[in-house]
A and B are shown apart, each in its own frame.
Chain A
Amino acid sequence: MSRKTTLIAALLCACGSAAPAAEEPRDERPQTTPPPLPWDAAATEPPAVESPLVAIVGGTVMTASGRVIEDGAVVLEDGRIRAVGARSEIAIPEGAERVDAGGRYVTPGLIDTHSHMGVYAQPGVNATSDGNEATAPVTAEVWAGDSFWPQDPALPRAVAGGVTTIQALPGSANLIGGRGVIVKMHLGRSISEMRFPGAPDTLKMACGENPKRVYGNRTSAPSTRMGNVHGYRLAFQQAIEYGRSWRDWQHNHRLWQVKRAKFERYEEERAEWERAALGEGGPDQPEEVEDPGPEPAPPARNFQLEPLLGAVEGRVLVQMHCYRADEMARMVELGREMGFGVRSFHHAVEAYKIRDLLAQHEVGVSTWTDWWGFKLEAFDAIPENLALLSEAGVHAVLHSDSASLVQRLNQEAGKALAAGRRAGIEVSEDTALRWITAEPAWVLGIDEHTGTLEPGKMADVVVWSAHPLSVYARADRVYVDGLLVFDRARQVRAGTTDFELGHGVGEGEGVTR
């Protein structure tokens, strides 16, 4: 089995329930291991990927972990970063393909925490509108991966912009829109081939104007912000009760196991006694034990409540669309009340107003540099938001929410850095780079695996033609999992999508030129 098939198999396993335990030698004591819960499958570790030995040599290496290395070297092999450092300190392994990055810049691959690529694909027609299951305000049961179209022409364009990982999310029509999917921009034929192995589940929620507008226009709940909050609370309470029903079942099952073991022992002892009773000097008649009856059946699965329960239990990372400071503060309180944490607010244009609170509760913020005014809850956006958040110690992320903006996250980071500096806020280039690499990795719970240039991490690397925060910088080479997925010089692309063939536009011209 090739590594790739192993990977797919691992992914498939992750979705199902754990395999039944092998027959074990019988213990004298009653067996009390609780039955596994359906969502208890062990987290998968990203598997190794077959990729060539590559040494990117020369240029300025910006690691997004605090180091800027002049005349650096980065070695990639089997999907991982093997070494990062000054060229003089790194032994370039024999047989490595040498990539000259002289005069250029090397950074981690960019990560976008807020994308609708694949679920609102290009062209934007009814047929590609798969991002909002706007048929009920709580649809936690749906998964963006099931809408994701790997042939979305936006995907290779994002790769050409240096993007190596995205979170594709359901839209914000609903209070709870469904689970997101983390996608490695190592393009493939199906979401199963592309999803980030081992990434935690995420849950999209939305505050404010969108849900109340969508459902209010139908004169159904919610039509107000207070209706929104009731909607979340109701759903989470149901999830908590649902979790209780499974714990009760586990408890009852454990009791049943004990009783069953006792009963089985009784039956054996009785059989022995009966045999012995025919002869002489056998054991005493055992005390009667009641038959505990059939094994307790597990509760009915509820696929809507499971992700919410996961959020309460900390397995699922909540990604919440929310603009206004007062609403975000309210959501933090609701989370404490119901037992879930918000991993990141998204859009969050007023986050700067409550940055102390967000830092205190370790809530991340994914936002733009300068989008504003398209609705009233976006009226108080300021371009210094990111700089102020970083200054306050908040996990600050520059996101796109746009198939266009995702192609220039680096420029947007440059603008946010300039806005901060113009206002006298100290912002380092490393901080600005972290807005689009390490911090989004944290928001998605994949920071152990990607987001910085450090040995052992996934080989997600971009070679830029100029300083990455410059308007003139273009991604020259993009590696995902150590594989060269975009090479501007040689017209190697992440792949022209099937959709774009045959329109007389020229293969990949929109991407590469």
Chain B
Amino acid sequence: MTRRAALLLALAAASPAAAQDAPEVLAIVRATVHPGEGEPIENATVVVRAGRIVSVTPNGSVPAGATRVDAEGGILTAGLVATEAPLGLVEISLEPETRDAAPENGDADEVHAAFDAADGFNPRSTLVPVARMGGVTSAVATPLGGLVSGTSAWVDLDGEQPSDMVVRERAALHVRLDDGGVAAAGGAMPTALTRLREVLEDARLYARQRAAYDRRALREMDVSRLDLERLADALAGRIPVVVRVSRASDILRVLDLGRAYGLSLVLSGAEEGWRVAERIAEAGVPVIVQPLTNLPSSFSRLGSRFDNAAILARAGARVVITTDGAHDLRNLRQEAGNAVAHGMDRAAALRALTLEPARVFGLDRDYGTVTPGKVANLVVWNGDPFETTTWATHLFVRGRPVPLRSRQTDLLERYRHLDGVARGINGSVRD
């Protein structure tokens, strides 16, 4: 099955409730479209049919029967894509029972390639609507733990059940060679890299001789069969391998490892990436970075600096912008604004939140730009999307207008005026 067919299936599986809400034909008028490819289009009409963009036309007409939405001159962009985020896998960070991003048992092996984010994704997570408030329409829900954390899932942020939302299971395999991953693997980078080579070589042997493995005719393997399957997917280039790594010299080591094993490599974190920007660009390896990182917070990232994204992009590397954790994905746009403030090209910063993540996870035929044929994950902003003082006014996931509400706006409504708030017998006593 091709990726596109898989996506269409996922879309077709969308719940009846969601499908009913979505207008068959939608026309967003009076939008300043920043398509993510090419020049902005003033006063554009964006027509969406069955969840896909049909046309983007200056002063375009509204098809008969279409649901009309007035952007009132606002800026329309592709929906933002969150990456490296345990969205739907963590609710309350300090409460273990609300966490599904990593094995919680301290004795668990540090390699758990078969750990699948889609298995734990909670579509009802209160973090999802909060992310949408910041214009995020898709996320790569990512596991966190160990040395080999498992596989992520690309989800669209609208739906009742995982089946409504998960567009691509096993979107990438995630490996950690940052401080956390090295600590999990025994505390030394050579130990971590040795273990990684060990399991990759096991998987290579396994992939060549599955029958022998099933007959128990192969040497003993270091990890389980399903772990080997996922590692074999990575070795075959079927899924990208996202490696978190910080120090410049470690980044180069990871580039070598990726080449040696033929991995479809993606760097993440890469706090000292700017020091080896040319090498990263030459290798054609995309980099997921957090712009608001400039502290020498550990000895592996003494060179952290605000213009990391800008330097990498100027060197020709493909840059994806991310942010910390999963609770405040609404701040992705602030991250991009800061990348721009520190020298990144504005259009590149927008692509780093839209098209580049789609490319990294192999979904750029369907996501990442406001162009005909693509999934209508769209956001309308009342000004510069990166600016602190603007906000999203409309948001569409697969063409469905999704209300910009969250548990937080519910709380606001309840407490907007204190008169109606319950205050018990003593609080209600008249003086």
Contact between A472 and B337, CB atoms less than 8 A apart: yes
Interface flags for A370-408 (1: CB within 8 Å of B; 0: not) read 111111100111111000100000000000000110011
Q: Is the CB of B387 within 8 A of A154?
A: no
Is the Cβ of B412 less than 8 Å from the Cβ of A384?
yes
CB contacts (< 8 Å) of A157 on chain B: these are 294-295
The answer on a CB contact under 8 Å between A418 and B92 is: no
Query: In the complex the two chains form, is A376's CB within 8 Å of B92's CB?
Result: yes
Q: Choose from B127, B302, B342, B408 the contact partner of A513 (Cβ within 8 Å).
A: B342
A470 at the interface (CB under 8 A from B): yes
The A-contacting residues of B in range 264-303, CB under 8 angstroms, are 292-299, 302-303
Known: A373-B127, A469-B389, A470-B389. A513 touches B331 (CB 8 A): no
A374 touches B94 (CB 8 A): yes
Q: Is the CB of A376 within 8 A of B330?
A: no
Q: Are A372 and B298 in contact (CB under 8 A)?
A: no
Closest CB in chain B relative to A420 CB, distance in Å:
10
Give CA–CA (A410, B327) in the complex, Å: 21
Asked if B92 and A379 sit within 8 Å, CB to CB, the answer is yes
Which residues of the partner chain B approach A376 to less than 8 Å between Cβ atoms?
A: 92, 94-95
A183 to chain B, nearest CB (A): 18
A20 at the interface (CB under 8 A from B): no
Question: Contact partner of A418 among B93, B342, B391, B418, CB < 8 A?
Answer: B391
Contact A411 B95, beta carbon cutoff 8 Å = no
Q: Which of B65-121 contact A (CB under 8 A)?
A: 91-95
CB nearest neighbor in A for B413: A423
Interface string of A413-433 (1 = CB under 8 A from B): 011011101110000000000
**Chain B: minimal CB distance from A385 (Å):** 9
* Residues of A with C-beta under 8 A to B331: 370
Question: Which residues of A474-494 are within 8 A (CB) of B?
Answer: 474
Judged by a CB distance under 8 angstroms, whether B250 is at the interface is: no
**Nearest CB in chain B: distance from A157 CB, A:** 6
Whole-angstrom CA separation of A415 from B387 in the bound complex: 9
Given A383-B408, A411-B388, do A353 and B421 touch, yes or no (CB 8 Å)?
yes
- One digit per residue, 1 when the CB lies within 8 angstroms of any chain B CB and 0 when it does not, for chain A 348-383 equals 000011011000000000000011111110011111
Is B188 interfacial (CB-CB < 8 Å)? no
Q: Is B295's CB under 8 angstroms from A423's CB?
A: no
- B residues 313-370 near A (Cβ < 8 Å) are 327-328, 330-331, 334, 337-338, 340-342
Q: Is A122 an interface residue (CB 8 A)?
A: yes
**C-alpha gap A195/B424 in the complex (Å):** 46
A352 in contact with B295 given A375-B92, A422-B391, A513-B307 (CB within 8 Å): no
- Residue pair B389, A373 in contact (C-beta under 8 Å): no
**Which B residues touch A423, using CB under 8 A?**
412, 416
- The reply on A503 being an interface residue by CB < 8 A is yes
Least Cβ–Cβ distance between A243 and chain B, in angstroms: 32
Contact A123 B92 (CB under 8 A): no
Tell me whether A505 is interfacial, beta carbon within 8 Å: yes
Nearest chain A CB to B297's CB is how many angstroms away? Answer: 5
A438 → B minimal CB distance (Å): 20
Residue of A nearest to B404 (CB): A422
Q: At the interface, yes or no: B213 with Cβ under 8 Å from chain A?
A: no
Are A471 and B92 touching (Cβ within 8 A)? no
Cβ contacts under 8 Å, B338 to chain A: 408, 411, 471
Interface residues of A in 134-150 (CB under 8 A from B): none
Flag if A375 contacts B95 (CB, 8 Å): yes
A370 and B305 alpha carbons, distance in the complex (Å): 24
A419: B residues at CB distance < 8 A: 391
Assess whether A439 is interfacial by the CB under 8 Å rule: no
Which residues of A are found within 8 Å of B306, using beta-carbon distances? 510, 513
Q: Is B390 an interface residue (CB 8 A)?
A: yes
A-side contacts of B388, CB under 8 Å: 411, 414-415, 417-418, 469-471
CA distance in complex: A513, B343 (Å): 9
B45 at the interface (CB under 8 A from A): no
Interfacial chain B residues near A384, Cβ < 8 Å: 412
B307 touches A153 (CB 8 A): no
Chain B residue nearest to A373 in the complex (CB): B327
Residues of A within 8 A of B337 (CB): 471-472
User: Is the pair A353, B415 in contact by a Cβ cutoff of 8 Å?
Assistant: yes
Given contacts A373-B327, A471-B338, contact A153 B389 (CB under 8 A): no
CB contacts under 8 Å to A, within B374-412, are: 386-391, 408-409, 411-412
Q: Contacts A370-B328, A372-B327, A383-B408: A123 and B302 contacting too (C-beta < 8 A)? A: yes
- A500 on interface, CB distance cutoff 8 Å: yes
Interface: A112 (CB within 8 A):
no
B298 touches A381 (CB 8 A): no
Question: Taking the complex as formed, is A209 at the interface, i.e. its CB lies under 8 A from any CB of chain B?
Answer: yes
- How many Å lie between the Cα of A415 and that of B391 in the bound state? 9
Task: Tell me, yes or no, whether B304 is within 8 Å of chain A by CB.
Answer: yes
On whether the beta carbons of A123 and B307 are closer than 8 Å, the reply is no
Report the nearest A residue to B293, measured CB to CB.
A404
Q: Give chain A nearest CB distance to B407 CB in angstroms.
A: 8
Q: A404-B295, A422-B391 are in contact. Are A503 and B302 (CB under 8 A)?
A: yes
Known contacts: A157-B295, A471-B337, A474-B341. The answer to whether A417 contacts B389 by CB under 8 A is yes
Alpha-carbon distance A419/B412, docked complex (angstroms): 11
How far does the alpha carbon of A352 sit from the alpha carbon of B411 in the complex, in Å?
A: 10
| Candidates B127, B334, B415, B416; contact of A471 at CB < 8 Å | B334
15 A-B residue pairings within 8 Å (CB atoms)? A157-B294, A209-B94, A353-B421, A370-B331, A371-B328, A373-B92, A375-B94, A381-B408, A404-B293, A415-B389, A471-B334, A471-B387, A505-B303, A511-B294, A513-B305
Q: List 8 other contacts, CB 8 Å, given A375-B94, A403-B295, A473-B341.
A: A122-B296, A123-B298, A356-B418, A373-B327, A375-B93, A376-B95, A403-B297, A419-B391
Chain B positions near chain A (C-beta within 8 angstroms): 91-95, 126-127, 130, 292-299, 302-307, 327-328, 330-331, 334, 337-338, 340-342, 386-391, 408-409, 411-412, 415-416, 418, 421
Q: Which 7 A-B pairs have the closest CB atoms?
A: A414-B388, A471-B337, A375-B94, A374-B93, A510-B305, A373-B327, A505-B303
